[in-house]
Amino acid sequence: MPTSVKMPHMGESVAEGTIAKWLKAEGEPVAKDEPLVEVTSDKVDYEIPAPTAGRLARILVQEGRTVAVGAELAVIEEAEAVAAPSPVPEPEAVLAESPVEAKAPAAGPAAPRAPSAVRHGDRKITPVVARLAEQHGLDLDRVEGTGVGGRVTKQDVLAHLEGGRPAGAQVAPAAPVGREARPSPAAPPRPAEPAPPARAPVREAPPDEPVEAVPLTGMRRAIAEHMAESVRTAAHVTTVAEVDLTRLVAFRERHKKEFEEQEGFSLTYLPFIVRATVTALKEYPGLNASLEGDRLLLKKYYHIGIAVALDWGLIVPVIRHADRLDIRGLARAIHDLAERARTRHLAAEETRGGTFSITNPGVYGAVLSTPIIHQPQAAILGVEAIRKAAAVRDEQIVIRSLMYLCLSYDHRIVDGATAVQFLQAIRRRLESPLELIL
């Protein structure tokens, strides 16, 4: 039985991926779980393993092409279905291998295979990229590559043309761009690819009201769909609590230099917030849950998603079993995930399976926000900026380090009283930082 290799789901807001490099050629044997193809997306670079042992019978999507999640990439003939190879295959056997295209006999010269990559100076590019550059007279040294190892992909070229061509210039028709080779005059014409859906015309703006039309990237489009779906699905409510972080600020000031010398990166407040949150989730399990039909699934494990802002969007890598880590372990995990997210070195599974999320707009100066729940979770915690402010303590006005925590939760799952109690449990622990360390 032939087995399909499909573009996997690579994160909640990843809708498509680009084939960067095939690690096996058609006809080569593959072992189960052996890396088969490198895929790059807006968020992660990923190796797709072979789902079964056998022979790579057909490659359906060539390097440089971008396809949606779930698209079929290749076909593997399983080991049981592959006959033992003979030194010189019989013509009938060769014809039987493919109902569409017969291979040349082994004794004859092999048909030249289209190169999977060509060179432009010291950079590797795919034939599709080379043709696009030739069609548009484009200097690829001016195009920033976002593929594996800085490779310029088809999407990089198209994005450069969208942003850089003069007004009124025409882009080559979409049908020939994605093909691996142009048909020769003698070849029968290929069926025309479906035309893209018509776009609404851009409003003609007066000269003093310029408008730039920027197409949504795959990541931006996926984020838009995911956020809109969350708002349509969950009954969003946001509750805010004020936290006095004066003791925690003083504790960090005392220890941050020693910590940085030992670990090589700065100690932030986020590890303390994560630890306080996980402890509170154990007291209020409804916040660490999801709704599935008419069942409420209470998760007995704690996979905490940490939102990381990127230059090209947002990603939420997950700290798995965060309850098993102390402050130092959480600091290492947060730093590692954030660094690899920014360099697109996360594995796909590191962006899935979160049970609760934390976002930190305060690092950019935000004082108050209403975050959107990361489906199918029950809640998300927004961490706002720490600010010096006047507060009343023991009948006196004093200067304290204050911060708002903003909890958005699904009112179908969590009641308002529970949400407030959950926030107060986090607040109490953050205001007594030694409890988080012991």
Active site residues: 411, 415
Per the structure block, which two tokens stand in for 12?
A: 């909640």
3-state secondary structure of 350: helix
Query: Are 14 and 42 contacting, i.e. CB atoms less than 8 angstroms apart?
Result: yes
How is 71-138 classified by DSSP, letter by letter? -EEEEEEEGGGSPPP-SS--HHHHHHH-SS-PPPPTTSPPPPPPPS-EEETTEEE-HHHHHHHHHHT-
Cα gap 400→388, rounded to integer Å? 6
- What distance in Å separates the CA atoms of residue 67 and residue 86, rounded to the nearest whole number? 36
Q: What is the CA radius of gyration of the chain?
A: 27
Question: How wide is the angle at C-alpha 146 spanned by C-alphas 112 and 354, nearest 5°?
Answer: 115
- Pick the closest to residue 165 from 197, 132, 193 (CA basis): 132
DSSP 190-201: PPPPPPPPPPPP
The Cβ of residue 166 has, within 10 Å, a number of other Cβ atoms equal to 5
Q: How far apart are CA 331 and CA 80, in angstroms?
A: 49
Alpha-carbon torsion, ordered 174, 178, 182, 186, to 10 deg: -80
- Helix or strand holding residue 55 (H, E): strand 54-59
Contact 225/313 with Cβ under 8 angstroms?
no
